[in-house]
Amino acid sequence: MKKSEVLKPPSYCDGLMEWAGKHVLVTGGAGFIGSHLSAKLLSLGASVTVVDDLSAGDMGRVPKGVELIEGCITDTSSLSDAIQGSDAIFHLAAIASVPLCEADPAWSDKVNLQASLEIISSANCPVIFASSAAIYGEPIEIPIAENHPISPVGYYGQQKATIDANICSLDSQSTPACALRFFNVYGEGQDPSSQYSGVLSIFIDRASTGRQISIFGDGEQTRDFIHVSDVVQALLLTGNSLVESGVSSPAHASAFNICTGSPVTLNEVVSLISAHVEEEISVTYEDGRDGDIKHSSGDPTKLQSTFDWKPETSLSDGILSLFG
């Protein structure tokens, strides 16, 4: 099959039935996205192993029935059995906090860069890598398509960009792999406790407990919020294609934006949230955050046209579910 041909998921079970009986390794599986993915894989009949050092993940989020290897991905020797015994690896583990990477670039280099390279090179099964919209930096064109220049600001984005580029340059002799460039992922289980948590989880947590919301800047910055269930679906569709077709998959050596293409401003987010709280939300406007990108809006066409994926959860439904 040529890369340009549309790959429709089988109609019998939204393209996901193939996971039954497969051994799947999820790095970072105790984290926000990884725990949703692990639960879904388990429900599809996969045998799931999670590796997580619980530095940001939470053991309580690892679903029952999943094997947990508690340790850091930098300890690749103790991971080798899990890597070699897998039919697919979803590599989500990372120091996901931009400021933490800035504070300790040597450590984030080890975790986000060196360990990722090691996992990809030692795997003998497909690897689906969690890349990030951070690799684009301040966009020069909106919406951002995958061929937008790569110009990350800071270590986190640079490290993600290096792995992403490494995957995109793989050839037909290499491990099947793809990079999914996540935009602003939100949903149940996202920790609101730090100022660098996802803005939606912070705003909902504060608004629902009658506390003030701080907007950094004028609130007119835009973000492309994507619900975690749509992210999981994208991971499974691309992973499934790599497992089925290996290096012939249209996902191999390719990167895909994971976004909705429908950005909203933070002021609009506050207005959507206000529909679910009785009292008026108290909002203060503070200085903009250093290094903040003004507009972030992705173009999801490539994933849509290659895998017939589309985001199913609108922002208003996603926010509603967080109040449920």
Instruction: Quote the least distance from Cβ 167 to ligand UD2, whole Å.
Output: 17
Q: How many CA atoms lie within 13 A of 228 on its CB side?
A: 21
How far is residue 186's CA from residue 205's CA, in Å, rounded to a whole number? 13
Instruction: Quote the least distance from Cβ 184 to ligand UD2, whole Å.
Output: 5
Q: 58 or 87: whose CB is closer to ligand UD2?
A: 58
Q: 70 or 218: whose CB is closer to ligand UD2?
A: 218
How far is residue 172's CA from residue 5's CA, in Å, rounded to a whole number? 18
Q: 101 or 251: whose CB is closer to ligand UD2?
A: 101
Instruction: Quote the least distance from Cβ 7 to ligand UD2, whole Å.
Output: 28
Q: Which residues contact 159 (CB under 8 A, 6 or more apart)?
A: 101, 108, 109, 112, 113, 116
Instruction: Quote the least distance from Cβ 293 to ligand UD2, whole Å.
Output: 5
Alpha helices in the chain (DSSP H): 32-43, 76-84, 98-103, 105-108, 115-122, 155-168, 199-208, 228-245, 266-274, 301-307, 315-323
Instruction: Quote the least distance from Cβ 256 to ligand UD2, whole Å.
Output: 16
Q: 78 or 147: whose CB is closer to ligand UD2?
A: 147
How far is residue 197's CA from residue 214's CA, in Å, rounded to a whole number? 13
Q: 42 or 293: whose CB is closer to ligand UD2?
A: 293
Instruction: Quote the least distance from Cβ 217 to ligand UD2, whole Å.
Output: 6
How far is residue 73's CA from residue 101's CA, in Å, rounded to a whole number? 16
Structure tokens at 56: 């940001």
Instruction: Quote the least distance from Cβ 195 to ligand UD2, whole Å.
Output: 6
What three-state secondary structure class fits 109? helix
Q: 150 or 242: whose CB is closer to ligand UD2?
A: 150
Q: 161 or 303: whose CB is closer to ligand UD2?
A: 161
- Residues in contact with ligand UD2 by CB under 6 A are 96, 98, 132-134, 184, 195-196, 198-199, 202, 214-216, 221, 223, 266, 289, 292-293, 296
The C-alpha torsion from 13 through 14 and 15 to 21, rounded to 10°, is -50
Closest CA to 13 of 49, 43, 48, 52: 43
Instruction: Quote the least distance from Cβ 122 to ligand UD2, whole Å.
Output: 26
Q: 216 or 244: whose CB is closer to ligand UD2?
A: 216
Centre a 10 Å sphere on the Cβ of residue 13 and count the other Cβ atoms it contains. 12
